[in-house]
Amino acid sequence: MKNDVINVYLKKSKVLLFLIVSLIFTIISVSLFDKIIENKSAFEKIILLSGMILFGFGVVLSIIYLLRKKPMLTIDDEKITIYKLFGNPNIIYLENIKSVNIWTTYHKSFVSNRQIVFELRNPTDKYKRTLFYKLIKEISSQKTANTQYGIQTNFLDLKYSEIEKIINEKIKNVT
């Protein structure tokens, strides 16, 4: 059997747009910081400073993503590899995937985020010992609790539906 490997990279145009927006807000907030925080309460100052830090982090993250050469996701006939920004990648073997779902987040009737999540047959023991797993298992279903891994699809160069289709085909071939 032929071992097809599919690498999914970041869509650089989306990352560049994110960089530009973050850079504009960061430059404006830094240049007007003294004028913005005059006569503000401590709470408002903290909120403004937090926003400036978050947009500054967005600039750094965008630059790291633009310089990145590794794929974000690799799909082959045996496993899915999710590469992190820093650290070791997460490897999910196809025979351990029970189902693939799309979680969509809406903000004012617009899609703001999509994630492909994997319900695992056997989540790792380390994950099962976390407070997060125990809490989700109590307040939601076992299916939701067993979704140990997910892939945020906002910046990927393939549409989420194409990725989901590829993964489901690979799972069918394994089972």
Per-residue pLDDT of the chain (175 residues; tens, 9 = 90+): 456 888 999 999 999 999 999 999 888 888 877 777 777 788 877 888 888 899 999 999 999 999 999 999 999 989 999 998 888 999 999 998 888 888 888 888 888 888 888 888 888 889 889 998 889 888 988 888 888 888 888 888 888 889 889 888 888 887 6
C-alpha to C-alpha distance for 92 and 75, rounded to whole angstroms: 10
For the stretch 70-93, what's the b/e string if a residue is b when 16 or more beta carbons lie within 10 angstroms of its beta carbon?
Answer: ebbbbbeeebbbbbeeeeeeeebe
pLDDT at 1 (0 to 100): 45
**CATH number, span 71-174:** 2.30.29.210
Which amino acid, 84? K
pTM (predicted TM-score): 0.78
